């Protein structure tokens, strides 16, 4: 379902536009994502996806309009800037997997895609840590290759990187398994 389709179905169900919800949320003083979601689910009986669409409009106006480079700059800004060079090297290695590889940043992490299908993610978690998510059911968690658990439902494994030297051949090999399986 497209984003606009979400908004259209919400208007059909509630009779309200995103602007209407913005006014109501402002009157209630709602500014946090979780609070907006809970309110929309309780008061308007919206499902999670629909509530999330309205919350995105209310709390992140203009989100998604930044260029790919602006999104990367934002992800790797401030204390997380130290990860950018290492990640660029990793992205260069991943692009060698095939011409169908795309590297696309969003507001929270960088997607590693094969023909628009996600096989991994890279998230600068903090100044001290980078998280790499890998989508590969064929891999068994072992050592630093952990099961992703509740960290991110879009991947099966997570590797926590505390030192740029940990972005190594082993990590690239795991990503290659994910790419080959996607």
Concatenate the DSSP letters of all residues of 104-151 into one string: EE-SS-EEEEETTEEEEEEEE-SSS-EEEEE--TTSPPBTTBEE-TTS
pLDDT of residue 28: 93
- What are 120's strand-pairing partners? 112, 134
**Going from the N-terminus, what domains does the chain have, and what CATH number goes with each?**
3-59 (no CATH), 68-181 (3.90.1150)
Task: Report the SS3 class of residue 155.
Answer: coil
pLDDT of residue 5: 73
Name the one residue in this structure whose structure tokens are 């082993």. Answer: 170
* Backbone φ/ψ region at 45: left (φ over 0), alpha (ψ -120 to 50), beta: left
| Residue range 140-182, pLDDT digits in tens | 999 999 999 999 999 999 999 999 999 999 999 999 999 999 9
pLDDT band at 49 (very low <50, low <70, confident <90, very high): confident
Q: Return the ∠ at Cα 171 (arms to 133 and 125), rounded to 5°.
A: 40
Output Rg (C-alpha) for the chain, integer angstroms.
Answer: 19
pLDDT of residue 60: 77
| Residue range 61-92, pLDDT digits in tens | 665 456 677 788 889 999 999 999 999 999 99
- Evaluate if residue 98 carries a pLDDT over 90: yes
Q: What backbone phi and psi angles, to 5 degrees, belong to 95?
A: -65, -25
Give 52: exposed, middle or buried? Use CB within 10 Å, 0-12, 13-18, 19+.
middle
């Amino acid at each position: 379902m497209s984003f606009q389709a979400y908004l259209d179905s919400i208007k059909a169900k509630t009779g309200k536009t995103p602007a209407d919800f913005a006014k109501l949320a402002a009157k209630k003083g709602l500014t946090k994502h979780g609070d907006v979601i809970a309110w929309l689910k309780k008061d308007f009986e919206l499902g999670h996806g629909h509530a999330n669409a309205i919350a995105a409009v209310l709390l992140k106006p203009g989100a998604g309009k930044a260029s790919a480079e602006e999104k990367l700059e934002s992800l790797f800004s401030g204390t997380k800037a130290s990860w950018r060079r290492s990640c660029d090297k990793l992205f260069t290695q991943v692009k060698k997997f095939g011409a169908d590889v795309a590297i696309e940043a969003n507001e929270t992490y960088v997607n590693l895609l094969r023909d628009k299908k996600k096989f991994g993610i890279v998230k600068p978690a903090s100044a001290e840590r980078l998280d790499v998510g890998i989508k590969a059911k064929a891999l068994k968690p072992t050592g630093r290759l952990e099961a992703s658990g509740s960290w991110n439902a879009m991947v099966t494994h997570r590797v926590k990187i505390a030192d740029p030297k940990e972005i190594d051949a082993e990590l690239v090999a795991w990503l290659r398994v994910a790419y080959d399986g996607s």
